[in-house]
Chain A
Amino acid sequence: MQETLVELRKQGRIADTLLLLEHTPVITLGRNADAKNIVDSRSPWSSVAIEVFEIKRGGDVTFHGPGQLVGYPICDLRGFTPRVGAVEFVRRLEEVLIRACTEFGIDTKRVPGLTGVWTNPDEVSEKKIASHRRPHLARITSHGFALNVTPDLESFKMIVPCGIADKAVTSMEQEWSAWKTRRSERN
């Protein structure tokens, strides 16, 4: 479906489009993935192994599943004034995710040297709340992002997310719970 929409956008038959969806549980391996970063592909909810797919994107291993909002912006970069390049588009996408989290009272940021959107104001133990694919130089964007809204975070224990072993994964739900705890401790 995504490829069809990219083609339609290329032909100018549809407007800039944002697909938003939840995947069924799946582990994906990018072109640069290290298979060792799959710790255990058995589902935490059952003994059934979750499907593992090798896909065209760059990057390492990722988990997608219910409670995670996945978005695929299908935009014609030539249509923006002033012009927006692929790298700038991804930078804006990060900013969009940061601002969307802010709407829900969650402070997030970029971390120098790492892709994605990260929580935690204390500058020490950042946790990843959203990830995105690396930009590629195409006129029509199709690289996606994934924002953890209410996923079961146990799922991410099946993998070393994005191959980064020393950083945890979080969700908007978990950050809300932490926010409520901090607030009740203050009062």
Chain B
Amino acid sequence: MENKTLGKKLEMEAVSHAITRQLAKSLDADIVAGIAGKSIEVQSY
């Protein structure tokens, strides 16, 4: 599902990235996210 006004697609992976990014920011920490079987690394900022 796509919201062209917001320029966003409602996909699990996009939401997963958003949550991981926000968690890293909230804790001011590096968080390693394992998303649905494949691993990605997200750095804090």
Chain A residues packing against B (C-beta within 8 Å): 14-22, 69, 71, 73, 75, 79-80, 84, 92-93, 95-97, 99-100, 103-105, 147, 149-150, 172-173, 176, 179-180, 183
Contact = CB atoms under 8 A, between A and B. Distances in A.
5 contacts: A73-B23, A96-B19, A103-B22, A150-B12, A173-B10
A155 to B, nearest CB: 17
Contacts, number: 98
Contact of A149 (B6, B12, B26, B32): B12
A25 B12 CA distance: 17
Contacts of A19: 33-34
Given A75-B31, A100-B19, A104-B3, 10 more contacts: A15-B30, A17-B32, A18-B19, A92-B27, A96-B23, A97-B19, A104-B18, A147-B19, A173-B1, A183-B5
